Structure 1
Amino acid sequence: MVTELGDDVWWYDLRGVNAYLVDDGTVTLVDAGNPWDGRNLVLGVDQAGYSLQDVDRVLLTHYDFDHVGGLGRLQGLDATVYVGSADEPYLTGKERPPLSNHKGALQNALGPFLNSPALSVETVPDGDEIGSFTAYHTPGHTPGHVAYVSEALDAAFLGDLVRESGGDLRASPWLMSYDTDAVRESVLDLADRAPDFSVAAMGHGTPFAARGRDAFDALADSL
């Protein structure tokens, strides 16, 4: 159910979308797949040598059906959920995504099939430190998209800012983004500000277990 990418970093390949389990002293789930992925998330936690009750933190890169859907299906999870401030109202159900944006309209249509998590939800300021992770605001794919980089784990969790295709990284495309100009600026900003990392863990495609920063910099240089 999970594949080890590096020390204390495991990859869930959830039929078209990725999630990750990490241990930086606190067992952490990064993104949560689709609503039907709950069982596989639990099985992967067990395979990595933990129980669901050991998971104390969930880092969400963004609000999308295939990244938050499993949260409402993890019975027994007692963890704090971290999410970008612009995506928090959609996650908690306080607001609906805007119909005026093509991506927002898609999120709006899928929203009724999601259960808001009955968990503590905290918003993540840019530059915030959560355990070993530093949060980087990377808007564009969604308004509240966040990437998380852990120097201790030598890993960057990039969500849908980028996707892997044919061994390369590509920026989030127009169809799946609120604003592709903002995506480009976010890629360049993260390339400028983030420390080095070997593991590049994105939401779609095959993650990089090594030389992930090289692949990310190659994308930034091409934009």
Structure 2
Amino acid sequence: MTRGVYRLGDDAVSFYALVEEGEVTLVDAGLPIHYRQLTELLGGIGRSVQDVRAVLLTHAHLDHVGLAERLRQEAGAIVWAHARDVPALANPRRTPPEAKPEANLGAYLLRHPTALRAPLHMARSGALRTPGITTASSFSGGETLDVPGRPHVVAVPGHTPGSVVFHLPSQGVVFTGDALVTHDGLIGRTGPQLIGPVFSHDTTQARVSLENLVALDADLILPGHGEPFRGPITDAVQQARLTSF
């Protein structure tokens, strides 16, 4: 992929390990079922969960925070999220009113029952057992975090009120979480795109926030859902702007 960056997860959700000088930062934290995969990856490069120093959350949805509290307890890792998403971490299984998605998932599934595959996968992978995160540090966007990899935080509200991406300028890498993905698990669409209103708080704002990505020096996009995208980030943003729901 690129030096010191490892992709984890499965066909439905991705998260990433960033390794620098033997210390580890996780970008997002997958689902509870992914713990063994994480330990095997770290063991294969001579590291362990005790080397995880930080867990950086692109946003506070269940499929991105699954291992965060466990790593906080077992490794003493500091969990970081945008200040506007931190309140949701205490009970990630219940979306707070101020962050509710625009559209109702249940109503959507009644019209498109085949889309049930994505939430069923999450349930089977332990999403509904995800513990609340009892202590988290916050950022507001614009910071370069003093954690392994020193990622720069860019605020991209819309998918959730506190959605962010993490940029590694020296490597031309951006972790986009769900602000820009390359696979829609409900309808199977691939390529750079936005996530629809059944999972997003404000899709209009999410579309506007794509502008915050244009100036980033990056040619490798690592999303929360779908395959990595290689190429100028401007190309990915241009395609995502065309997303229709």
Shared fold (TM-score, shorter chain, > 0.5)? yes
Cα distance 1:211–1:90, how it changes in 2: closer, same or farther (>3 A)? Answer: same
Q: Name the aligned partner's letter for residue 98 of structure 1.
A: P
TM score, norm. by length of structure 2: 0.76
| Structure 1 counterpart of 2:141, from 114, 126, 129 | 126
Please give the alpha-carbon distance, in whole angstroms, between the structure 2 residues aligned to 1:149 and 1:220. Answer: 18
Aligned to 1:174: 197
- Say which one has the larger Rg: 2
Q: Over residues 106-134 of structure 1, what are the superposed CA-to-partner deviations in whole Å (9 max), with x where a residue is unaligned?
A: 7xxx997321235x521112101114211
Of 178, 181, 202, 1:163 maps to: 181
Indicate yes or no: 2:100 matched with 1:101: yes
Conserved in 1, the CA contact under 8 Å of 2:159 and 2:202? yes
What CA distance in whole angstroms lies between the structure 2 residues aligned with 1:217 and 1:90?
Answer: 28
Structure 2 match to 1:86: 84
List runs of 5+ in structure 2 lacking aligned partners. 106-122, 184-188
Identity of aligned residues (%): 29
Q: Is the 8 A contact 1:14 1:33 kept in 2?
A: no
Task: Tell me how many residue pairs correspond in the alignment.
Answer: 212
Instruction: Name 1:198's counterpart in structure 2.
Output: 219
Distance 1:103 1:91 in 2: 20
* Cα distance, 1:104–1:175 mapped onto 2, change above 3 Å: closer
Query: Which of 9, 33, 58 is the equivalent residue of 1:13?
Result: 9
1:211 and 2:210 matched: no
> Residue 198 of structure 1 aligns to which amino acid in structure 2?
D
CA deviations 1:130-174 (Å, max 9, x no partner) are: 142110111111111111101123210000011114762001211
The reply to whether residue 31 of structure 1 matches residue 46 of structure 2 is: no
Q: CA deviation at 1:100?
A: 8.3
- Counterpart position of 2:158: 140
CA distance 1:135–1:18, change in 2 (3 Å): same
Per-residue deviation, 1:37: 1.8
Contact 2:142-2:154 within 8 A present in 1 as well: yes
| TM-score of the aligned structures, taking structure 1 as reference length | 0.83
Cα RMSD after superposing both structures = 2.8
- 1:31 partner letter: D
Aligned to 2:68: 71
Aligned residue in 1 for 2:130: 114
Where does the alignment leave 5 or more consecutive residues of structure 1 unmatched?
none
SS of the residue corresponding to residue 6 of structure 1 reads coil
For 2:13 and 2:29, locate their aligned partners in 1 and report how far apart those are by CA, in whole Å: 9
